[in-house]
Amino acid sequence: MVERTFVMIKPDAFGRRLCGEIIRRYEAKGLKLVGMKLQIVSRDLAEKHYAEHAGKGFYESLLEFIMSGPTVQMVWEGQNAVAVGRKLNGATNSQEADLGTIRGDFGMTVQNNLVHASDSVETAKREIEIYFDESELWDYSMPDGHWLVN
């Protein structure tokens, strides 16, 4: 099933110059980039994004980290895009992530884990709406699209 997912390259990956590598992996997998922004996340956006963690002991440090530097917000589209994005990223704890995943190849810690991807279609919809207006998302055909669907 074709779906959209939200992916964010976090400040640690941006600071380590891994943006191109992360985007390359999503493209190479066959997902289609339909929206992208570069920004330092405001506290308001960070609170909306991590609302489910409000009140937890790590909440403030999570907000501080995501606001600490430039981030890249993206919307990717493709068959089972949510599950594909999660698999590309690897386990949340980079030390437990499989080699060959973004976190397994480049990550060192739980919090500084380079990249975020939505964990469900519902979460993807909510996160996309936090960062993007519908007019900022593009619908277009890719010349290789027929090779990437059943």
Q: Which residues are catalytic?
A: 116
Supply 63's token pair.
């907000």
DSSP 8-state class, residue 143: T
Q: How far apart are CA 36 and CA 7, in angstroms?
A: 9
Q: Which long-range contacts (CB under 8 A, 24 or more apart) does 107-112 make?
A: 111/58, 111/61, 111/62, 111/65, 112/10, 112/12, 112/65
